[in-house]
Amino acid sequence: MKNNLSKFKGFIIDLDGVIYLDKKLIPFSKQFIDYLNYKKKKYVFLTNDSSLSPNEYSKILLKLGIECEKEQVITPITNFLDMIEKKELDNNRIMAFCSRKLKNYIRRSKVKIIEDVLKFKDSQSILVSGNINFNYKDLMYASLCVQNGAKLLTTSIDDTYPSELGNLPATGALVAAITKTFPTSVFNLGKPSKRIFNLARNKLNLKKSEILTIGDNLITDIAGSNSVGIESALVLTGKTSKSILKESKIKPTYTMNNLKI
């Protein structure tokens, strides 16, 4: 892999299944990032998990010995805030259906969330992100918002996530419940959306041909990267096994057993 790496100046790197699993380092991932720093390569971490803020991710990574500034972490919420900054969304007309923690983070980022659900008719867009407190009232007002023309944005389209109990409903399941009440298009803020890969590329400030995406998920990391014309490397330390890769129509540019240099 070392020879292939030299042609790239920047890297878009997934976290879960690539750098860590259950927030424990995966063998060789730290050495890989150290190598990138040694070679003065640029890198950003791109995760679909919006339960933590970029600042919290950078702290976790630093604790694990991985060099990372908060500006180097991109989540679906970074994408959301960028849309507001670029005036693709009206900052005054957003309603959020997400965890309290995420809401607070968004508020701190100077987003003026419509707090009173009874003002659902004022919403131009809604943000949906999976959380344990999502209830019938949330579903009802989210539905009323989209019925009144609000754009539906989601941090993820995953239907379930694994747990010790079994697969549990994820953000995509909540979104499905909303669209079941009123069919509407869904804007996915996370991977594999082109917008989030383009955002990562802009952060790196490099040409597409100079960047490599590294991930463990064929659908989000590899297909997403392929769709914007950025070469991709699949690492087999997470979600995807050799046999899954063999069966899939989605193919990475490179495949690596791990991040060993």
The footprint of Mg ion (CB under 5 A) covers 14, 16-17, 216-217
123 vs 225 by CB, closer to Mg ion: 225
52 vs 145 by CB, closer to Mg ion: 52
> Looking at this protein, which amino acid is placed at residue 108?
R
131 vs 217 by CB, closer to Mg ion: 217
Q: In 10 A of CB 186, how many CB atoms?
A: 16
| Cα–Cα distance, 93 to 124 (Å, whole number) | 5
10 vs 224 by CB, closer to Mg ion: 224
Which residue number has the CB closest to Mg ion?
Answer: 17
Residue 17 Cβ, how far from Mg ion at the closest point, in Å?
4
Residue 249 Cβ, how far from Mg ion at the closest point, in Å?
19
Report strand pairing: 160-162 vs 167-169. antiparallel
Nearest to 50 by CA among 119, 101, 115: 101
Residue 207 Cβ, how far from Mg ion at the closest point, in Å?
25
| Cα–Cα distance, 131 to 120 (Å, whole number) | 20
Residue 10 Cβ, how far from Mg ion at the closest point, in Å?
19
Residue 48 Cβ, how far from Mg ion at the closest point, in Å?
8
Which DSSP state fits 218?
I
Nearest to 158 by CA among 257, 36, 76: 76
Contact 12, 212 (CB under 8 A): yes
82 vs 158 by CB, closer to Mg ion: 158
